Structure 1
Amino acid sequence: MLDDIDRKIIQATQAGLPLTPQPYQAVAEQLGLSADEVMQRLSAMQQSAIIRRIGAVPNHYKLGYRYNGMTVWNIADEIIDEIGQQVGQLEFVSHCYHRPRHLPEWPYNLFAMVHGKSQQEVDSQIQQIKDLLGDKNLGSDVLYSTRILKKTGFRSGGPSTAQNDS
Structure 2
Amino acid sequence: MALSDFDRELIAATQSGLPLVARPYEAVGAMLGVSGEQVRERLGEMLAEGLIRRIGAVPNHYKLGYTANGMTVWDVADDRIDELGAMVGALPGVSHCYRRPRALPVWPYNLFAMVHGRSRDEVERQAVQIRTLLGDACRGSDILYSSAILKKTGLRLSFTEN
Separation (CA, whole Å) in 2 of partners of 1:143 and 1:47: 36
Of residues 44-53 and 70-79 in structure 1, the stretch that sits farther from structure 2 once superposed is 44-53
Which sections of structure 1, spanning at least 5 residues, go unmatched? 161-166
Equivalences for 1:75-154 in 2 at 5 Å? 75-154=76-155
Separation (CA, whole Å) in 2 of partners of 1:146 and 1:20: 31
Aligned to 1:4: 5
Aligned to 1:24: 25
What is the CA deviation profile of residues 117-139 of structure 1, one whole-angstrom value per residue up to 9, with x for unaligned ones?
A: 11111111111111111211111
Of residues 20-29 and 62-71 in structure 1, the stretch that sits farther from structure 2 once superposed is 20-29
- Tell me by how many angstroms 1:104 deviates: 2.1
- Across the aligned residues of Structure 1 and Structure 2, the Cα RMSD in angstroms comes to 1.3
Structure 1 position 37 matched with structure 2 position 5: no
Specify the SS of the correspondent of 1:81.
helix
Normalising by structure 1, we get a TM-score of: 0.91
Residue 111 of structure 1 aligns with an amino acid whose one-letter code is F
The share of aligned pairs that are identical, in percent, is 61
Residue 113 of structure 1 aligns with an amino acid whose one-letter code is M
What is the CA deviation profile of residues 55-92 of structure 1, one whole-angstrom value per residue up to 9, with x for unaligned ones?
A: 11110000011111101111111111110111111110
Please say if residues 7 and 159 of structure 1, whose CA atoms lie closer than 8 Å, have aligned partners that are also in contact: no
What is the CA deviation profile of residues 139-163 of structure 1, one whole-angstrom value per residue up to 9, with x for unaligned ones?
A: 1121110011111111123347xxx
Runs of 4+ in 1 over 3 A off after TM superposition: none
Of residues 101-110 and 54-63 in structure 1, the stretch that sits farther from structure 2 once superposed is 101-110
Aligned residues: 160
Specify the SS of the correspondent of 2:51.
coil
Normalising by structure 2, we get a TM-score of: 0.93
